[in-house]
Chains A and B, each alone.
Chain A
Amino acid sequence: MKKLFLFLLVSVLSFALIACNSGDSSSNPGGKQKLTVWSFTDELQEPIDVFMERHDVEIELTIIPIADYPTRLRPVLESGSGAPDIFTGELAFIKDWVEQGYWENLSQAPYNVEELKGDFVDYVFDLGRGSDGNIKALSWQTTPGGIFYRRSIANEVLGTDDPQVIGEKFSTMDGLFAVGEELKAKGYRLFPDEGAVRWFAQGNNPQAWVNENNELVMSEGRINHFDYAKQLREMDLTAFAPEWSPAWFAAMDGPINYNAGWDAVDTNASNEVEVFAYALPTWGLHSVLKMNTDVTSGDWAVTNGPNPYFWGGTWLGIYSGSKNKDLAWEFVKMMTHDEEFLTNWALESGDVLSYLPVTEKIKGDFSEPFLGGQNNYTFFLNQAESINPGLVTRYDQQIDNFFGNMVSEYVDGVKTKEEAIQEFYNLVRNAYPQIKTPDQK
C-alpha cells in the first residue's frame, strides 16, 4: 500500500515536472508570434479571441486586480524583464503614466495617431496625451455618467417616466432634492447612499483638484458639497446602503430593509424601502446594473444629473521596450479604430465607444431593452461632449478619497465644516508635500 502510494506520488510529481517543462518549450508552437497583454479587467478577452482568429497569433492576457495593478506593473516596466507588450491604464493613474517613458509614443511614425484626432471623442483622446504633447495611449470607450432611475417609481411618484422631463427636474441640486422629497413622501429613497451626489459637487464651474502651480483648488462648488451632503442626510433621502455593499446591490432589484428603529425618521414608515436612482457611468449599466437585477430589468431609464461627469475608463498602449511593436500596434488598431470589429463589439456589449465613425453609424437606432428601449447611446455621447479632460489630475483618486472622508465626518457631526476642511488640507499635504493648500497662502 505504502509503495503504491509512493509510486503514485512520484509519477504525479514527475508528470508535473514534465508538464511544466513542455509548457515552457512549446510556448511558441509552429513559430507563432506571441503577444502578452496585462490588464485589470477581463473585458479584453473577447477582442483578443477575435484578434487571434484574424491573425493566427497567440495572445496571453494577464489580469491583475486593480488594487495591485500599478504596484505589480511598475517593477516589470522599470526593469524591462517580463514586461507585457501591451498594457492598459485606468483613469486613476493614466495621468501618472503618460508622463513616463513606459508607453510608446504614438504621435510619431509609424503610428501617426494625430491624424485620427477628429475621429475620437475629444476628452478620451486628450487624456492619453503627456505634457510633452505626445499621445501615449488610446481608448475605445467613453465613460460619461448619468442617473439611472426606475421607470415604475417615476410614473407613480412624478407622473411620468420620460428621461427628458426627469432630466430637467434633475438639472439643479435643488431640483434633485425636491424630487427626493416627493419620493420620500411615498416611501421611496432618492439614492442608495450619500456618496451618490459626489459627482455633482462640481457644479457648473468644474475645476481640477490641482492647478498648474501645484496648488490645491477648493472651489465654491466643493465647499457647497459639504452642505448638500448634510442636507441629504438631514432630509433623510437615502437608504444608507453604502456603495458596493450587499445592500447597495440588493436595492437595485427590489426593496431592502431600512432602519428598524432609526428615530430620526417617521416611525410609521415601513421597514422596507425602495431606491429610486443610482448615479453610474456607461459601464455601470452593463457591469453593475444588469448583473444585479432580475425583476427590475426593463424598468430602468437614464438621464442627466445637475452636471455632466465621467468615471473610469480603460486606456491601451504599447510598452516602449516591446519587441513586437508591429503586432501590438495591430491589436491596438483593431481595438480602437477598426470599424468592423468595433461595430460588432458595440452592438454586442453595449459599450459606448469613443471612435466617432462607428458611433455615428450606430447611435441613430440604438435601443437598450434593459432601459425600456431607450437610446442610451446618444444620451451618453451628448454627455461626453461636455467633459473637459483638463480636469483630471494624477492626484484625483487619493484627493477624492480624503475629501469624501471629510465630508462624511462633517455629515456625521464629528467635525465642523471648518475643521473638516482644515483636516482635508492636512491630509493632502501629508500625502503630497509638494502641493500647496489654500491655508498656506
Chain B
Amino acid sequence: MKNKNYYGYLFILPFFIVFATFSIYPILLTFYYSFTNYSGMGTPEFIGLANYKRLVTDTYFLQAFINTWYIWGINFIFQIGIALGLAVLFSDIRLKMKGLGFFRAMFYLPNLITIASVALLFGILLGWHHGTLNHLLLDLGIISKPINWLNDPTTARWSVALIGAWMWFGHTFIVLMAGISGISNDYYESALIDGANRFQTFISITLPLLKPIMLYVLITSLIGGLQIFDLPMLITNGLGAPQGSLNTMVLYLYNQAFRFNNYGYAAAVAYGLFIITVVFSLITFKAMYRKSVN
C-alpha cells in the first residue's frame, strides 16, 4: 500500500509557512528584543531583564493599565445596556416592533465608519469654544460656560468610552438578537398565559438563557477593550493627554516603540500586555467553567 497521507500536509503547508513567517517569527523576535535596548537602528545590545524590571515599576504603564480598564468598563456597561434593552424591545412578542431590518442597519452603521472619521467628527462636536455640543448646551441654557470636554480627565475618558459604546452597541445588538431568537417562543407564550409581566419574563427567561451569548460578548469585548488604541491616539494626537488619562496600554506601547524608538522596552511592554491578557482570559474561562457546572 502506498501511503498518500503526505498530500494532506502538502496542502496545509502554505498556511503554516505564512503563519510561521508572519506570526511565530515576529513573536519570537519580539521576545528576543524585549531583552535588548534595540532602538530601531543599529544592532541590539543584550541587557538581560532590565526592561522587565522597568516595566513592573513603571507608573506610566500602571496608569495606562488603569485607563484601559476604566474606559473599557464604562464602554461595556453602556454598550451592553443599550444593546440588551433594544434587543428585548425588538423581540417582545407583545409589542411586535416593526422595522427591525431598518433599525438593525441604523444601529450597525457607526461600526462601519472609519475610526479616523469618527475621531474627526467627535473632535468637532466636542470642541471647546467652537464645538457643536457646547453651543447646543449653551443655547439651551443647560451650562453657563463652555466645557472643555477633551481636556478634563473624567470627561475625556467618558467621551472616549461613550464613543466606543456608540460604535459597538449595534454589533452587540445583532449578536444579542440572534441569541434571543434562539430562545423558543414557547417559554414566552407560557409565561404570557401564566400572567408574567415583562420584567419577570426578562429576569426569569431571557437573561438566564442568554448567558452564554452574554459571556461571548463579554470575552470578545474584553479582548478588544484591552487593545483600545485608535480613538485615544487620534483624539489626543498620540499624547494620551489630558494628564495621561487617555494613555491606554497599546498607545503606550506604540509611543515607546515608534515615537521614542525604545523598541526593546516596547517589546517588554508587549509581553506585559500579553501576560495581562492571558491572566484575564484565564479568569474568564474559570468563570465560564463554573457556570457550566451549575
Contact = CB atoms under 8 A, between A and B. Distances in A.
Interface of A: 70-71, 74, 78, 96, 100, 239-242, 245-247, 256-264, 398, 401, 405, 408-409, 412, 414, 430-433
Contacts of A239: 129
B95 to A, nearest CB: 41
B146 A261 contact: yes
B127 interface: yes
Contact of B127 (A78, A247, A433): A247
A262 B146 contact: yes
A246 B128 CA distance: 12
Contact of B241 (A245, A257, A405): A405
Contacts of A74: 40-41
Interface of B: 40-42, 54, 58, 60, 123-124, 127-130, 135, 138-139, 143-146, 148, 151, 239, 241-243, 255-256, 258-262
A405 B151 contact: no
A74 B262 CA distance: 14
Contacts of B42: 100
Contact of B144 (A240, A256, A261, A433): A261
B135 A260 contact: yes
B181 to A, nearest CB: 32
Given A398-B260, A409-B242, A431-B259, A245 B151 contact: no
B interface majority secondary structure:
loop
A241 B131 CA distance: 10
Given A246-B124, A431-B260, A262 B130 contact: no
B111 to A, nearest CB: 24
A380 B143 CA distance: 46
29 contacts: A71-B258, A96-B41, A96-B261, A100-B41, A240-B128, A240-B130, A246-B130, A247-B129, A257-B135, A259-B129, A260-B146, A261-B143, A261-B144, A261-B146, A262-B129, A263-B145, A398-B259, A401-B239, A405-B241, A408-B151, A409-B242, A409-B243, A412-B148, A412-B151, A414-B243, A431-B256, A431-B262, A432-B262, A433-B54
Contacts of B151: 408, 412
Given A261-B138, A414-B243, 7 more contacts: A71-B258, A78-B41, A96-B41, A257-B129, A261-B146, A414-B242, A431-B260
A49 B2 CA distance: 65
B3 to A, nearest CB: 37
A118 B124 CA distance: 49
B138 A260 contact: yes
A261 B41 contact: no
Contacts of B135: 257, 260
Residue among B42, B143, B256, B260 having the largest count of chain A Cβ atoms under 10 Å: B260
B145 A261 contact: yes
A32 B157 CA distance: 56
* 3 closest residue pairs by CB, A with B: A240-B129, A431-B260, A247-B130
Nearest to A77: B41
Contacts of A263: 144-145
A70 B259 CA distance: 10
B198 to A, nearest CB: 43
Most central of B128, B130, B148, B151 by chain A CB within 10 Å: B130
Contacts of B60: 430
A1 to B, nearest CB: 26
A295 to B, nearest CB: 19
A259 B135 CA distance: 9
Contacts of A100: 41-42
A264 B146 CA distance: 11
Contact of B129 (A241, A408, A430): A241
Contacts of A70: 258
Nearest to A434: B37
Contact of A245 (B40, B41, B130, B138): B130
Contacts of A242: 128
Nearest to B41: A100
Contacts of B124: 246
A398 B243 CA distance: 16
Contacts of A401: 239
Nearest to A261: B138
A165 B56 CA distance: 58
A259 B146 contact: yes
Nearest to B61: A430
Nearest to B236: A405
Contact of B260 (A257, A261, A432): A432
Contacts of A257: 129-130, 135
B280 to A, nearest CB: 25
Contacts of A430: 58, 60
A259 B262 CA distance: 42
A331 B60 CA distance: 46
Contacts of B258: 70-71
A368 B16 CA distance: 63
Contact of A405 (B41, B54, B239): B239
A405 to B, nearest CB: 5
A3 B193 CA distance: 54
Contacts of A258: 129
